[in-house]
Structure 1
């Protein structure tokens, strides 16, 4: 019996040793030279990215590849639960162009833009709210994506909520586009959506819808976010390269974002381009 126990202990020790060894060698050293820019992206997620290269993240990726002097390639996957695990962590690609600051599954670069949720309404709407506590929301049917920050404050304001799903396979559903179409067709009186989505889809209606960034919100909900690029942990050199790119090309990046209708905030949370006493 004792001999059998000793053999079991030795076997377990061997297995643990192999596992430990495997972990030690599984993470290769950071590459200093990159032959191509391999981007992890959703192939059907405008205005951010698609396989035709029509999104603003596609445009920024092209700018980064040009700056690095390497070809640009993509690894496409729907941006649903497990996206990072199936792309960045598998080392089949090396950067996510759009990642919210503080996202725990990646190493964040410096932020390259900051945006805010916005109200989308018909051009002739009387609703001009820049905060979710505006009494004008009471009794109005307002579209909002489920589990997003505006949902609870809108309910408190008395809005009648039309909900849309948050986590979807973008190859099958486009809830934000549905929300915009409901505003166009009069099924809702407005929608509160993430700024880049609001600006992009509102501008593509005929006639265009009005976009009102919620810059004066006092509801306590976090409506503005800083957006970074996401890379793997343990790759400080790669992170520094991208930070340097962002610093040198910020004006070009801003121009791309403005072209796509993204509401941009400065470091103080004010809309870029809005003149306040001579300070824009």
Structure 2
């Protein structure tokens, strides 16, 4: 009789635990419909994988809410309650609450190994001599290409990369895999991209490529610093401090697992500045 009672009790406790898990609300994560290598609808991006990991750690089912235009998704999705979590935002983004950074990376110079280009900083002669440099407009790369007098040289080439689309009132996307392939195929000598955006494609390129982190000490002609290293965090809606605390706990306690996922992607990782660590 005692044995039967113990078995019944164990079953009841197990069922109770399963019920609690089932009652947990889904973790609704804002994710891009097609912004690789970060995320897509098929869940193939590294931020998709991270979202799954975070949901598992919280004991919650993952529910993805996809957006198509990055310019408005915080206003139209997160702020309106259609989702609760955003992966891969700038640490300290004023539009939302952000966790402690889960990685820090930087922009990179990409070139073919066989070319053996000496690309160390913005004074490198290879940047002056290159006929074609692939980059995404509106990034620090554009700012510095203007500063060293190479932006106008690349204007026609940039229009080719965009497919001659009009930029008026629409989001024009420069595909990261295409920009990396411009170098791998020999159409461009150099590409300048955000490391996490390029890493997957550099790693997969049929032509061996070199990815060099750009130092974070560049300045424009007027002496203003141009940042090339940035920290990335998870974001939640303003006021949702309880969810923020849960996510911060995962970021801090599971940092090794998170770094393993990022390193598998080939993302170049940097140490967080002491000032950033002290704020979180």
- TM-score, normalisation: structure 1: 0.77
In the other structure, the counterpart of 2:148 is: 157
Tell me whether 1:250 sits opposite 2:241 in the alignment. Answer: no
In the other structure, the counterpart of 1:222 is: 227
In the other structure, the counterpart of 1:186 is: 186
Which structure is higher in helix share? 2
Cα distance in 2 for residues equivalent to 1:42 and 1:168: 16
Cα distance in 2 for residues equivalent to 1:178 and 1:59: 23
Question: Runs of 4+ in structure 1 displaced over 4 angstroms?
Answer: 164-170
Tell me whether 1:144 sits opposite 2:149 in the alignment. Answer: no
Q: Mean alpha-carbon deviation: is it higher for 182-191 or for 155-164?
A: 155-164
- Structure 2: gaps (5+ residues): 1-22, 220-224, 275-280
Cα distance in 2 for residues equivalent to 1:146 and 1:129: 20
Tell me the SS of whatever aligns to 1:38. strand
Q: Residue 217 and residue 132 in structure 1: after superposition, are their counterparts in 2 closer, same or farther (change >3 A)?
A: farther
- TM-score, normalisation: structure 2: 0.77
Tell me whether 1:102 sits opposite 2:92 in the alignment. Answer: yes
> Does the CA-based 8 Å contact 1:133-1:154 persist in structure 2?
no
> Does the CA-based 8 Å contact 1:133-1:153 persist in structure 2?
no
> Does the CA-based 8 Å contact 2:30-2:86 persist in structure 1?
yes
Q: Mean alpha-carbon deviation: is it higher for 237-246 or for 103-112?
A: 103-112
In the other structure, the counterpart of 1:69 is: 59
Aligned residues: 235
Shift of residue 98 of structure 1? 0.8
Cα distance in 2 for residues equivalent to 1:236 and 1:128: 47
Query: What is the alpha-carbon root mean square deviation over aligned residues?
Result: 2.3
Shift of residue 34 of structure 1? 4.9
Shift of residue 110 of structure 1? 1.0
Residue pairs, 1:47-58, within 5 angstroms: 47-58=37-48
Cα distance in 1 for residues equivalent to 2:170 and 2:90: 18
Give CA deviations for 1:34-58 in whole Å, capped at 9, x if unaligned: 5111100002112111122211111
> Does the CA-based 8 Å contact 1:130-1:217 persist in structure 2?
no
Shift of residue 213 of structure 1? 1.1
Pick from 228, 237, 257: which aligns with 1:232? 237
